[in-house]
Amino acid sequence: MRAVITVIGKDMVGIVAKVSAICAEKQVNITEVTQSVLQDVFAMIMLIDISNMKTPLSELTDEMNKLGDEIGVKIHVMHESVFDSMHRV
């Protein structure tokens, strides 16, 4: 099973490291990542494998939301089924 994490906000040192650390704690594998800094705005998309995660996706979402609040960025976690349902129009 896969999910997508997006991060948007003011650029600062350590964003990738902090998001990655939570993924590692939850046994989430980051399979692809792209990130850009547009002037001083940081934008990242991570494709993650949640097959080995031992906790519900909602717990990962809650931790990412908490991290986002702490460092002043918006972090969103979406299960791949959200994208699958978008193609069934």
The model's pLDDT over 13-62, given as tens digits with 9 standing for 90+, comes to 999 999 999 999 999 999 999 999 999 999 999 999 999 999 999 999 99
Q: Is the pLDDT of residue 78 over 80?
A: yes
Question: CATH 3.30.70.260: does it fit domain 2-86?
Answer: yes
Contacts (Cβ under 8 Å, ≥6 apart) of 41? 8, 9, 10, 11
Contact present, 71 and 4 (Cβ < 8 Å): no
Q: What token pair was written down for 73?
A: 């960025």
Cα(1)–Cα(73) distance, rounded to whole angstroms? 26
Predicted local confidence at residue 81, as pLDDT: 81
Pairwise CA distance, residues 28 & 42, whole Å? 22
Query: Rg (Cα) of the chain, in Å, rounded?
Result: 13
